[in-house]
Structure 1
Amino acid sequence: MADDDLATLGPATEPRTTPAPRPADGAGPPQPGPAEAAPEALPATGPAGRWLPRIVIAGLVLAALNLRPAITSLGALLEEVRDGLGMSGTVAGLLTSVPALCFAAFGFAAPRLARRWGPGAVVCAGMAAIAVGVVVRPYAGGTGGFLAASALALAGIAVSNVLMPVVIKSWFADRVGSMTGLYSMALALGTSLAAALTVPMTEALGGSWRTGLAVWGVLAAAAVLPWLVVVRRRRAAAVPATDSAAGAGEAPLRITSSPTAWALAVFFGLQATAAYITMGWMPQIFRDAGVSAGTAGVLLAVTMAMGVPLSFVLPRLASRMRHQGPIAVLLGLCGLAGYAGLWLAPAAGAWAWALLMGISNCAFPLALTMIGMRSTSSAGVVKLSAFAQSVGYLISIPGPLLVGTLYQHSGGWGLPIALMAGLMVPQIAVGVLAGRDRRIEDES
């Protein structure tokens, strides 16, 4: 990205020379960055400027809270939505694949949008898109309108997904692990709250699934506010962009020639497959086993809530390790144990399987942490984040659809769960490869 891409997020005063980024949380000596690296956030002046980093943190937390409720609230009410819109199992499987499709398509566009408008403005627009899409989709009329409004919300989620690691790298280069942990914890909290509260809120608001889904637009609207402050503060300063002349002779970073980038992309794709199958279908697995709808929603909430403390601790731990592969192995083994339980005794051991699946789903904050650690610069992080997440979500698209099709045609959960378990094995393998102490700049 050009220098002004990331400077848009920072308080604009006189530029300063930025020290080379350290590994996350300051572990180890500083790493040299390429000349094309985007600058750190600029120093703040005045009361508003001094508060701006805190406003960015608030924006990160509020954005993270909104990156999953549009999906998990739907999972909790999927049966009611299917009945209300007349969806077949295959179409419902397509609905659970839409997030991955939108994340892949719009994730590729995030770097270009950030170059044109600045990451802060793009994230702000993303939060607004989530708010509008979540409110409109239950009342859009028919499956087509529901899918179109969902795509709008998911487009906002997609660009924010890609740009959050960039914001963290540019503002908090020496605290990548701790800030990724805070962001991941807020994301897990938003996910679990939506799963746990959607059904009771629906009942409290009159029992309509439309109201139960639309109410989450309020939280998204609140997330727009801090990013408006960031964008307005930057534009008010009106400091012209500065391009690094030193970078003119540097060879461009070719992300596709990096084995680590590909390993991260595949790891991201497989963990996303597992996560969206879990969010979209796990409540239905429990309901088919005789568990009530309310309890099934709470079980999904427990799975998501496991990510709240673990997503805060795990990135800090991972950032202090030279090789994150052992963590990927441990998370994968928990996933395999959870799938075995869902196959053998879904109702009897429901709480244990929910806990194990929650631990396994922490592959997501691990992937985000590795994205921040596998490049020496903010410019490298935005390319790696866009590549790993977009390619990863493309990889994940068939998973939820296959699960829905297998469920409908087999009449049970044996084959779908076998598919989930089978995909966990390559996830472990590529997680070990992605966890090696490498930098994409060295490989490309």
Structure 2
Amino acid sequence: MTPPPTAAPALPAPATVDPRPTRDPGAGRRTHPATGGALVLVGMLLVALNLRAVVTSLGALLDEVRDGLGLSGVTAGLVTTLPTIAFAGLGALTPWLVRRVAPARVLVVAMLALAVGQVLRVATDSALIFVLTSALALSGIAVANILLPMLVKQHFPHRTGLVTGAYTMTLTVGTTVAAASAVPIAHAFGSWRAGLGVWAAMAAVAVLPWVPLALRTRAAARRSTQTAAVATPTRVRPARTRLGWAMAVYFGAQSLSGYAIMGWLAQLFRDAGYQPESAGLLLAGVTALGVPIALLMPTLAGRLGSLRPLVLGLTAASALAYLGLALAPHGAALLWVALMAIGQGAFPMILTAIGLRARTAEGTVALSAFAQSTGYVIAALGPLMVGILYEATGGWTAPIGFLLGALAVQTTAGMAIARPRYVEDE
């Protein structure tokens, strides 16, 4: 919140302080031409395009990777759990990082780590090196996950729903394309390595808009940090609020199911009798059908007085999808895919809620970091537990029962964040 104006003699300030009244950096600030508003948007969309491709391409080719590297079911579960581990650990460090380094410079390094990690992991025959280089790639995604909501709040405060919808839709498109094309690319080149490694080029392209932004905004970022320090003397700490914990639990539960689906749904359909290409297309169908949902959900969430109808509707769709996969995975696969796509609308909804439940840019990045880093600790259980239960039982009833339990927790937390309030107020 912006403090009331104070007479100049009563407030010591550096000689370089702007004489105009201080404004909160996240409250209605227009993007200055020097920061390249259009370039920021293009850069955000390119980053979003990369945020799940590294995960869903692996999910579509998991059988081939397991055979090629000799991975057990438990090790494969660990590999599919890596995204959540990386996102939890590095996501928590991002607010500290952006207080010291301009976001554009951070994103340059993040996208380079993503590109290099993807190249290195397909160049090895060692399971250990595959895991480590996958972690390097995922570290770039972890940082970008936290930064995007903050960038929306800073650069597009009056178009939060529209821009959030645009980047979540782009994220969904990248997820869909990777899931649908990983197997055909691998078959075309005769190796699963091609199906995973091709996405490094897309990450390298995402670096390009941030290089000029990093060069042009270094000084501006320092001034912005100084202004924010004067305007917000008390740091926002979501861990001390009920809202912060409710957001973290909801984010964690929906991410648990999301990463379990990305990591194991193609395998479920293979076990149900589908060919690898068809199983990959069904996985891609979940994200493809989610594209319009990702575009519309932020606007819808922003216009509703309460998120309760969305929370309950998304829960109902997910529950029906899980039950259908348990009872008739082959006979009505398209219906279950459609219902699952609707249920996964919880992801764009909670990203929008992060912006809706904070007043300032600092509050947004603090809430984003806490909800996502803590949430991903919870989410790490998803792919790992699904892998353990799948190997222990040889079927999908137990894993799906586990996901239904997580859905119940998600719904409870969702009801707690449904009514409008702000993390700064708590």
Q: Provide the TM-score with structure 1 as the length reference.
A: 0.88
Q: Which residue of 2 aligns with 1:376?
A: 359
SS in 1 for 2:174: helix
Partner Cα separation in structure 2 for residue 432 and residue 91 of structure 1: 36
Q: CA deviation at 1:429?
A: 1.5
SS in 1 for 2:99: helix
Corresponding position: 1:180 with 2:164: yes
Q: Which residue, 154, 161, 182 being the options, matches 2:145? A: 161
Corresponding position: 1:233 with 2:225: no
Corresponding position: 1:422 with 2:402: no
Corresponding position: 1:83 with 2:76: no
Partner Cα separation in structure 2 for residue 202 and residue 429 of structure 1: 41
Q: Aligned pair in 2 of structure 1 residues 18, 225: CA closer, same or farther (>3 Å)? A: farther
1:289-328 equivalence runs, <5 A: 289-328=272-311
Q: CA deviation at 1:248?
A: 7.1
Q: Which residue, 352, 357, 364 being the options, matches 2:335? A: 352
Partner Cα separation in structure 1 for residue 19 and residue 39 of structure 2: 21
Amino acid at match of 1:175: R
Q: Which residue of 2 aligns with 1:71?
A: 55
Amino acid at match of 1:74: L
Q: Aligned pair in 2 of structure 1 residues 41, 248: CA closer, same or farther (>3 Å)? A: closer
Amino acid at match of 1:344: L
Q: Which residue of 2 aligns with 1:258?
A: 241
SS in 1 for 2:159: helix
Corresponding position: 1:100 with 2:89: no
The answer to whether the Cα contact below 8 Å between 1:299 and 1:351 also exists between their aligned partners in 2 is yes
Partner Cα separation in structure 2 for residue 245 and residue 386 of structure 1: 18
Q: CA deviation at 1:235?
A: 3.6
SS in 1 for 2:331: coil
Bigger Cα displacement from structure 2, 340-349 vs 244-253: 244-253
Partner Cα separation in structure 2 for residue 136 and residue 380 of structure 1: 37
Partner Cα separation in structure 2 for residue 65 and residue 342 of structure 1: 28
Corresponding position: 1:113 with 2:97: yes
Q: Aligned pair in 2 of structure 1 residues 253, 91: CA closer, same or farther (>3 Å)? A: same
Q: Aligned pair in 2 of structure 1 residues 337, 16: CA closer, same or farther (>3 Å)? A: farther
1:139-185: CA deviation from partner (whole Å, max 9, x where unpaired) = 13311100111001100000000000000000011111111000100
SS in 1 for 2:405: helix
1:383-426: CA deviation from partner (whole Å, max 9, x where unpaired) = 00000000000011122111111110111111011111121111
1:218-262: CA deviation from partner (whole Å, max 9, x where unpaired) = 000000000112112224879755634984784432322211111
Q: Which residue of 2 aligns with 1:390?
A: 373
Q: Aligned pair in 2 of structure 1 residues 240, 342: CA closer, same or farther (>3 Å)? A: closer
SS in 2 for 1:284: helix
Q: Which residue of 2 aligns with 1:270?
A: 253
Partner Cα separation in structure 2 for residue 146 and residue 272 of structure 1: 23
Q: Aligned pair in 2 of structure 1 residues 147, 37: CA closer, same or farther (>3 Å)? A: same
Q: Which residue, 198, 209, 219 being the options, matches 2:182? A: 198
SS in 2 for 1:442: coil
Amino acid at match of 1:60: M
Q: Aligned pair in 2 of structure 1 residues 223, 37: CA closer, same or farther (>3 Å)? A: closer
Q: Aligned pair in 2 of structure 1 residues 246, 132: CA closer, same or farther (>3 Å)? A: closer
Partner Cα separation in structure 1 for residue 105 and residue 27 of structure 2: 17
Amino acid at match of 2:29: E
1:83-108: CA deviation from partner (whole Å, max 9, x where unpaired) = 00111111111111110000000001
Q: Aligned pair in 2 of structure 1 residues 168, 62: CA closer, same or farther (>3 Å)? A: same
Amino acid at match of 2:346: A
Q: Aligned pair in 2 of structure 1 residues 17, 343: CA closer, same or farther (>3 Å)? A: farther
Stretches of structure 1 lacking an aligned partner (at least 5 in a row): 1-13, 21-32
Q: Which residue of 1 aligns with 2:29?
A: 40
Q: Which residue of 2 aligns with 1:411?
A: 394
Corresponding position: 1:137 with 2:126: no
Bigger Cα displacement from structure 2, 54-63 vs 239-248: 239-248
The answer to whether the Cα contact below 8 Å between 1:15 and 1:42 also exists between their aligned partners in 2 is no
Amino acid at match of 1:117: V
Partner Cα separation in structure 2 for residue 393 and residue 246 of structure 1: 29
Q: Which residue of 1 aligns with 2:14?
A: none
Partner Cα separation in structure 2 for residue 378 and residue 167 of structure 1: 8
Partner Cα separation in structure 1 for residue 54 and residue 376 of structure 2: 17
Amino acid at match of 2:301: A
Aligned length: 411
Q: Aligned pair in 2 of structure 1 residues 266, 17: CA closer, same or farther (>3 Å)? A: farther
Q: Aligned pair in 2 of structure 1 residues 321, 401: CA closer, same or farther (>3 Å)? A: same
Alignment RMSD, CA only? 2.2
SS in 2 for 1:87: coil
Corresponding position: 1:213 with 2:196: yes
The answer to whether the Cα contact below 8 Å between 1:38 and 1:379 also exists between their aligned partners in 2 is no
SS in 2 for 1:353: helix
Runs of 4+ in 1 over 3 A off after TM superposition: 14-20, 36-42, 235-242, 244-252
Q: Aligned pair in 2 of structure 1 residues 241, 352: CA closer, same or farther (>3 Å)? A: closer
Q: Provide the TM-score with structure 2 as the length reference.
A: 0.92
Amino acid at match of 1:364: F
Amino acid at match of 2:309: P
Partner Cα separation in structure 2 for residue 15 and residue 212 of structure 1: 53
Identity in percent: 45
Q: Aligned pair in 2 of structure 1 residues 37, 313: CA closer, same or farther (>3 Å)? A: closer
SS in 2 for 1:116: coil
Q: Aligned pair in 2 of structure 1 residues 180, 17: CA closer, same or farther (>3 Å)? A: farther
Q: CA deviation at 1:333?
A: 0.8
Partner Cα separation in structure 2 for residue 242 and residue 270 of structure 1: 33
